[in-house]
A and B are shown apart, each in its own frame.
Chain A
Amino acid sequence: MSQWLPFEWIAAVRFLREGRLQTVFIILGITIGVGVIVFMSALLTGLQANFLNRVLTSSAQIQLLPPDQVARPLRDADIEDAIVQRPAQRVVSIDQWPKIAARMATLPDIAMVSPTMSGSALAVRGDASRAISISGIEPDSYFRIVRIPDYLVAGNARLASDEIIIGTELAKDLGASLGDKLNIETANGTTIVLRITGLFDLGNKGANERNAYIALRTAQSLLGRIGAVTTIELTVHDIYAAETLAQQIAASNPVRADSWIKTNAQFFTAVNAQQTSNTLIRVFVALSVAFGIAAVLVVSVIQRSKDIGILRAMGTTRGQILRIFLIQGGLLGLAGTVIGAAVGVGGLYWWHAAVRQVDGTELFPLILQRELFIVTLILAPLTGLLSAMAPALRAARLDPVAAIRG
């Protein structure tokens, strides 16, 4: 017997060791439970982070747009049964945009501001033509908001006045490659010839077919709106405060402000659903682990009733008996947690290495949050302790005479 351990610890460890098979099976059960929790939580965190990363690096977190154009019926006009029709939304500039952009740049919550001019056009090469969405940008600021350089598969992110960056799908459709020239035509009849300097792959076929980036001034002249911008793109320091901030900006400026949270509402619905199901799975796994521990210890109390009786006869207090079984529950929980966490992490590494996206990149970033392990390491042994409470109380309350008699 160890000279350092109190009697309760010695007895708890010995009892677990003697019931080896029972102990191994319940630790295996806890290991699987904890492993599933760790694996699922880390996987979900990684997938969310990956999706967030893709969303946040391929679009602005807040977009400032001109207010919707609305029809204004004449007042006091004597027209019966008039129908007020919503007007077509022309491409219009944000009124006073340099002033608004400058104001945005001074806000402490805003990290980056970039004006853009967007419109639709036709990309023509030989007999092939495709409708595209043109974004006229200032590369220095815009590429810090939308990380096009990160998604380049060929060329570079340079944008002189006669250059264009297009998606891989558009290049494929037009049979164009790096250095080729494209005719860009707009509805107002303006045509311009631009050279392809970069090809990007945003991981979204639609975006790769439609999006094209050119210099801001080139876009302004192409779309016939010299000096105008249609959007002011913003990034913020706290991405989850984007919607609140957007509402504040819209309230104090003559613009519409759309946050990434609003434009990706479906994503948040999906995340919430995932988190709810993950929480439910965690709760039920924890419950099954708790009941497993309790069941094993109830059996142990029955099996050891004579031992408990004889221990009581030799002067062991009810408190000591209680602690022997509580410690067993805690130790089972701790052992299962440590092994389960290791199994969960191991499984995660394996899954991360084995499952890749179509393009060979990782499906999700490997994110092992310290908090997850700390919480698991605290909660699982605590679950063990709590589940051991009922059998431990039963053991402590055993009548020594009845226990010895068996």
Chain B
Amino acid sequence: MVEPVLRLEGVTRSYNIGQPSAIEVLHAIDLHLDPGEFLALMGPSGSGKSTLLNLVGLLDRPTSGEIWINGTATTHLDDAELTRLRGHTIGFVFQEHHLISAFSAIENVMMPMVVDRSFETAEIRARASELLARVGLTKVANHAAMAMSGGEQQRVAIARALAMAPDLVLADEPTGNLDSKSADSVFALMREVNRDSGTSFLIVTHNLELAQRCDRIIDMIDGRLVK
């Protein structure tokens, strides 16, 4: 049996624990994502999608339950171990792309590899160039990140998310701020990466049309998953 890239069992997330204002945002979430799977997570605003994505991305810790990434249980890991695991296994694409404005497009793509320190400089630049070519941005590689269009910036963000060859890419409404043409193009790119590299994707989206092009759709309502 193939080990899932991501597995959640009984994951809950509560805030203000022990106070009158305590609130449970996620209720006993069970979820798994197989290698190479392209999963869409849909749901109304405030249903807990981003909270779930933060937990899966190891940016936040669950109140209870367990999260496995490639078979590694994560709730007992310390901050440094979580950071290492996140850097090597998970790529992020955010709705607002979040490129770092002080760096050019190619430097943004190089950054996860530079941070990791386990790559040679020439290798880093070659891989970043290759990723930018893959997202069709070779010509603007040295442009300032903030001087590019929204669609281009999101493509750079996808290239950056793929820099460490992660097993899982988490995308929080990656096409939310793009026009329909750019949105379609960015989604197609992610799907292509998924097919070519076998990278698993978990995409939060409000766009039903795009979601229907995914392998599987799960809905989240009031902090519960509805398949």
Interface positions of A (Cβ within 8 A of B): 1, 3, 6-7, 10-11, 14-15, 17-18, 306-307, 309-318, 320, 400-401, 404
Contact = CB atoms under 8 A, between A and B. Distances in A.
- Would you call the interface of chain B mostly helix, strand, loop, or mixed? helix
9 A-B pairs closest in CB distance: A315-B87, A3-B121, A14-B102, A18-B102, A310-B98, A314-B112, A400-B59, A7-B114, A401-B54
B92 interface: yes
B83 A312 contact: yes
Contacts of B57: 313
Interface in B114-137: 114-117, 121
Contacts of A18: 101-102
B34 to A, nearest CB: 23
Chain B, interface size category, equals 20 to 34
Contact of B114 (A10, A313, A400, A404): A10
B111 interface: yes
A318 B83 CA distance: 9
B84 interface: yes
Contacts of B83: 312, 315-318
Interface string B103-115: 1000100111011
Given A1-B107, A7-B117, A10-B114, A315 B102 contact: no
Nearest to A18: B102
B103 A314 contact: no
Contacts of A311: 100, 111, 115
Residue among B79, B98, B103, B164 with the most chain A CB within 10 A?
B98
B184 interface: no
B106 to A, nearest CB: 9
B86 interface: yes
B94 interface: yes
A1 B114 contact: yes
Contacts of A14: 102-103
B98 A315 contact: no
Nearest to A11: B102
A314 B87 CA distance: 5
Contacts of A3: 121
A313 B110 contact: no
Contact of A15 (B102, B160, B164): B102
Nearest to A1: B107
